[in-house]
């Protein structure tokens, strides 16, 4: 090839993979505990049996075919989608609230990308050894050992990704039965597509893309920085203490003693680089707060370990606020919640949560919608009266037959004609359409422009739905 040939512009710069060292400490323990609980819930929940009227089922099941979502003793229908909307609002506000207080805690400890990446790294370490061993393995030529170790890692990753996908699918059917059919090839094609998609995406996202998901794909990570303010507690390196006047320097020879370092103007940071080696985002926290930091606290654990071993005080890297770090005399880091923003988020959270709980508690297990017949909007009868017609759609959401009583409110007596359907029996899980005729003399119609239909189960009259309807006369134009 011509050595002078112009090379095309490279749009993609290949990145060196981050190989992290494991850390020990309270944040690592907290992360591990969260991981254990989260995995126990995610992988275990589909296997929790639950007895329902129509037989044995599981505690949490999203029955898409029957459009019914079971969460323990609660049954949710598609028309309750507003709850989901409200729940997402609450989740978003909670994220804002937590971020304003303690930064990206969600990213660092609870996000599934973080959890799965963490677990994949744990598998990597189990098979290939600690960071140095893994780096050595990467450099060495392909031999039997390397093939065995790297191969085993990927086999485990793919197996775990596959089980992640299968578990997700198990939420959509009765787990023991669905799993059986899945492996016999009798499950719905959607199940296979979902499992394949989740296996591939989990394998790629947790095995290869890792911190790049947080930096380049995830929108939450990026917009959470807006919620930060100087009072927010974030993972921070105390540069004043670490750098001193003369900068950080390795603890060698005479500089091992803290007194000697302070005398020469050096800070407490011995530049061991452990905080960088443990970082799953591949950053150096000593360069300050940065968008890639998921605030997982592992650098705090690493630094505290080093500080302990050389007998320096802990907390060179710690959770602290920007304002406190800059203060002439830094106070003990504390949660500063007395801010308009934080309190505002909290108030919004409380109101929305209250609304959701109230709504769920006051729901009825039937649905009513009244539709006015609009062709024609009204009609004159032979006795001169005006008649409007309505279709009442009545849906029974329970699994047993229920008789409902339909009555009217705000109409002269005798105006409503329901035929024989004043009381109507609706079978479980079914719906019916009831026709309602309302007729009034034109003079009377003027004063009854709106009225209500009241629908209540005969056995439980308190559980009622009121729907307003309009009555049109010839002056409607």
Partner 1 sequence: MSQDKKTRQAPQTTGHVWDGDLQEYNNPVPDWWLIAFYISIAAAVGYWLVFPAWPIGGTYTKGFDTITYVNDKGVTKTTHWNTRALFLKKTNEAVAAQKPYYTKIANTPFEQIAKDPDLNSFVISAGKALFSDNCAPCHQQGGGGKMGLAPNLTDDDWLYGGHFTQIQQTITNGRHGYMPPFKTVLNDTQMTELADYVLSFSKVPVNPASAQAGNALFHSETAACYYCHGADAKGRTVIGSKNLTDNIWLWANVPAAQTVADKENVIKNVIYHGLDKGVMPAWKDRLSADQIKLLTVYEHDLGGGQ
Q: Which is nearer to partner 1, 84 or 379 (CB)?
A: 379
Surface-to-core class of residue 468, CB atoms within 10 Å of its CB (0-12 exposed, 13-18 middle, 19+ buried): exposed
Q: Which is nearer to partner 1, 322 or 365 (CB)?
A: 365
Question: Does 383 engage in binding with partner 1 (CB under 8 A)?
Answer: yes
Give the residue, chosen from 1, 10, 332, 338, that forms a contact with partner 1 under the rule CB under 8 A.
Answer: 10
CB atoms within 10 A of CB 434: 21
Q: Which is nearer to partner 1, 314 or 398 (CB)?
A: 398
Q: Which is nearer to partner 1, 266 or 389 (CB)?
A: 389
Question: Cα dist. 143→50, 124, 140, 147, 218 in Å?
Answer: 52, 18, 8, 6, 38
Give the residue, chosen from 180, 422, 430, 449, that forms a contact with partner 1 under the rule CB under 8 A.
Answer: 430
Q: Which is nearer to partner 1, 10 or 51 (CB)?
A: 10
- Look at phi and psi of residue 270 and say left if phi exceeds 0, alpha if psi is from -120 to 50, else beta: alpha
**Residues 439 and 448: beta-carbon distance below 8 Å:** no
Sole window of 115-123, 262-270, 380-388, 463-471 interacting with partner 1 (rule: CB under 8 A): 380-388
Q: Which is nearer to partner 1, 8 or 311 (CB)?
A: 8
Question: Does 8 engage in binding with partner 1 (CB under 8 A)?
Answer: yes
Q: Which is nearer to partner 1, 229 or 417 (CB)?
A: 417
Total of chain residues touching partner 1, rule CB under 8 A: 34
Say which residue the tokens 């452990």 belong to.
274
**Residues 388 and 472: beta-carbon distance below 8 Å:** yes
Q: Which is nearer to partner 1, 331 or 381 (CB)?
A: 381
Question: Cα dist. 470→176, 359, 443, 447, 476 in Å?
Answer: 52, 26, 16, 11, 11
CB atoms within 10 A of CB 215: 18
- Tell me how many degrees the CA angle 293-115-345 measures, rounded to the nearest 5: 60
Q: How far is the CB of 422 from partner 1 (least distance, A)?
A: 11
Question: Does 382 engage in binding with partner 1 (CB under 8 A)?
Answer: yes
Q: Of 186, 177, 37, 228, nearest to 115 (Cα)?
A: 37
- Tell me how many degrees the CA angle 301-303-307 measures, rounded to the nearest 5: 115
CB atoms within 10 A of CB 206: 25
Structure tokens at 363: 């729901």
Give the residue, chosen from 373, 448, 464, 470, that forms a contact with partner 1 under the rule CB under 8 A.
Answer: 373
Question: Does 428 engage in binding with partner 1 (CB under 8 A)?
Answer: no
CB atoms within 10 A of CB 232: 24
Question: Does 9 engage in binding with partner 1 (CB under 8 A)?
Answer: yes
Structure tokens at 187: 């499950």
Question: Does 411 engage in binding with partner 1 (CB under 8 A)?
Answer: no
Question: Does 371 engage in binding with partner 1 (CB under 8 A)?
Answer: no
Q: Which is nearer to partner 1, 158 or 377 (CB)?
A: 377
Question: Does 226 engage in binding with partner 1 (CB under 8 A)?
Answer: no
**Residues 263 and 241: beta-carbon distance below 8 Å:** no
Question: Does 65 engage in binding with partner 1 (CB under 8 A)?
Answer: no
CA distance 448 to 469: 10
Q: How far is the CB of 204 from partner 1 (least distance, A)?
A: 15
Residues in the chain: 477
- Residues within window 243-272 making contact with partner 1, judged by CB under 8 A: none
Sole window of 151-159, 197-205, 271-279, 367-375 interacting with partner 1 (rule: CB under 8 A): 367-375
Sole window of 16-24, 213-221, 294-302, 425-433 interacting with partner 1 (rule: CB under 8 A): 425-433
Q: Are strands 402-409 and 379-380 parallel, antiparallel or unpaired?
A: unpaired
Q: Which is nearer to partner 1, 63 or 417 (CB)?
A: 417
Q: Of 163, 157, 168, 38, nearest to 109 (Cα)?
A: 38
Q: Which is nearer to partner 1, 235 or 434 (CB)?
A: 434
Give the residue, chosen from 81, 262, 381, 458, that forms a contact with partner 1 under the rule CB under 8 A.
Answer: 381
The SS3 call for residue 283 is coil
Structure tokens at 73: 């003793």
Q: How far is the CB of 232 from partner 1 (least distance, A)?
A: 39
Give the residue, chosen from 376, 449, 450, 461, that forms a contact with partner 1 under the rule CB under 8 A.
Answer: 376
Question: Does 380 engage in binding with partner 1 (CB under 8 A)?
Answer: yes
Give the residue, chosen from 353, 372, 431, 470, that forms a contact with partner 1 under the rule CB under 8 A.
Answer: 431
Sole window of 53-61, 229-237, 242-250, 421-429 interacting with partner 1 (rule: CB under 8 A): 421-429
Question: Does 436 engage in binding with partner 1 (CB under 8 A)?
Answer: no
Interface ranges with partner 1 (CB under 8 A): 5-10, 373-376, 379-384, 387, 389, 391, 417, 419-421, 424-427, 430-435, 437
């Amino acid at each position: 090839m011509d050595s002078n040939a112009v090379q095309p512009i490279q749009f993609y710069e290949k990145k060196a993979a981050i190989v992290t060292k494991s850390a020990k400490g309270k944040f690592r323990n907290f992360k591990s505990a969260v991981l254990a609980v989260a995995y126990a819930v995610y992988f275990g929940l589909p296997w929790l049996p639950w007895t329902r009227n129509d037989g044995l089922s599981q505690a949490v099941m999203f029955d898409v075919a029957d459009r019914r979502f079971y969460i323990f003793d609660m049954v949710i229908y598609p028309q309750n989608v507003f709850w989901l909307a409200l729940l997402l609002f609450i989740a978003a506000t909670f994220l804002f609230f937590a971020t304003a207080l303690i930064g990206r805690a969600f990213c660092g400890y609870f996000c599934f990308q973080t959890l799965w990446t963490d677990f994949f790294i744990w598998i990597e370490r189990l098979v290939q050894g600690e960071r140095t061993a893994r780096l050595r393995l990467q450099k060495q030529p392909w031999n039997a050992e390397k093939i065995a170790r790297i191969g085993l890692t990927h086999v485990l990753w793919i197996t775990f990704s596959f089980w992640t996908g299968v578990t997700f699918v198990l939420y959509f059917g009765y787990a023991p039965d669905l799993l059986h059919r899945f492996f016999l090839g009798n499950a719905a094609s959607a199940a296979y597509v979902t499992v394949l998609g989740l296996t591939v995406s989990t394998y790629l996202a947790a095995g290869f893309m890792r911190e790049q998901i947080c930096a380049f794909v995830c929108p939450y990570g990026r917009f959470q920085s807006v919620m930060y303010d100087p009072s927010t507690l974030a993972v921070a390196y105390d540069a004043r203490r670490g750098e001193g006047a003369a900068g950080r320097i390795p603890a060698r020879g005479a500089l091992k003693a803290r007194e000697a370092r302070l005398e020469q103007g050096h800070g407490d940071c011995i530049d061991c680089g452990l905080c960088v080696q443990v970082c799953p985002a591949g950053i150096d926290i000593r360069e300050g707060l940065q968008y890639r930091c998921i605030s997982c606290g592992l650098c705090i654990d690493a630094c505290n370990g080093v500080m302990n071993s050389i007998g320096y005080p802990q907390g060179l890297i710690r959770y602290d606020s920007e304002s406190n770090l800059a203060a002439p005399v830094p106070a003990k880091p504390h949660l500063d919640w007395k801010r308009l923003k934080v309190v505002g988020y909290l108030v919004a959270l409380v109101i929305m949560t209250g609304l959701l709980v109230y709504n769920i508690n006051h729901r009825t297990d039937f649905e009513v919608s009244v539709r006015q017949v609009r062709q024609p909007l009204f009609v004159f009868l032979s006795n001169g009266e005006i008649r409007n017609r309505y279709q009442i759609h009545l849906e029974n959401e329970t699994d047993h037959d229920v008789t409902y009583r339909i009555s009217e409110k705000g109409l002269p007596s005798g105006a409503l004609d329901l035929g024989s359907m004043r009381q109507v029996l609706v079978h479980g899980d079914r719906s019916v359409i009831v026709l309602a005729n309302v007729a009034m003399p034109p003079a009377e119609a003027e004063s009854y422009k709106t009225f209500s239909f009241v629908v209540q189960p005969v056995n439980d009259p308190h559980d009622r739905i009121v729907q307003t309807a309009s009555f049109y006369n010839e002056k409607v134009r």
